[in-house]
Amino acid sequence: MNKLTIIFYFLIVQISAQTGISVSPPRIYFESGAGTSSTQKITVTNVSAKNSLDLAVSLGDWEYDEFGENMMYPANTLKNSCASWISVNKNDNYFSLAPGERKDLDITITPPAAGKDNLSSHTAVLYVSQMNPVDDVDNKGANIKVSIRSGIKIFHKSPDVVPKKIEIKDLKFDQAKNSLALQFENQSSIWVDGKVSTEIINTTTGKKVPVNDIVFYTLSGNVRKINIPITTPLEKGSYNASVMIDYGDASSLEIAELNFNHE
Chain centroid to Cα 10, Å, comes to 8
Phi, psi of 180 (to 5 degrees): -100, 140
pLDDT digits (tens, 9 = 90+) for 150-193: 999 999 999 988 899 999 999 999 998 999 999 999 999 999 99
Cα-based distances in Å from 261 to 28, 170, 172, 233: 45, 17, 11, 13
Which amino acid would we find at residue 241? A
Phi, psi of 179 (to 5 degrees): -150, 165
Are 228 and 197 a contacting pair, CB within 8 Å? Answer: no
Give the other-Cβ count within 10 Å of 206's Cβ: 7
- Residue 12: what pLDDT? 37
pTM, to two decimals: 0.86
Taking 90 as the threshold, does the pLDDT of residue 206 lie above it?
yes
pLDDT digits (tens, 9 = 90+) for 135-150: 666 666 677 777 888 9
How confident is the model over 87-98, as a mean pLDDT?
94
- Residue 170: what pLDDT? 97
Alpha-carbon distance of 120 to 261, in angstroms, equals 43
Which domains are assigned to the chain?
3-157 (2.60.40.10), 166-262 (2.60.40.2360)
Burial class (CB in 10 A: 0-12, 13-18, 19+), 86: buried
Half-sphere exposure of 82 (CA within 13 A, CB side): 31
Backbone CA torsion sign across 219, 220, 222, 228: positive
Taking 70 as the threshold, does the pLDDT of residue 61 lie above it?
yes
Which is more confident, 6 or 234? 234
Are 209 and 202 a contacting pair, CB within 8 Å? Answer: yes
* 3-class SS of residue 179: strand
Phi, psi of 254 (to 5 degrees): -130, 125
Taking 60 as the threshold, does the pLDDT of residue 18 lie above it?
no
Averaged pLDDT score across all residues of the chain: 89
How confident is the model over 224-249, as a mean pLDDT?
93
Chain centroid to Cα 171, Å, comes to 24
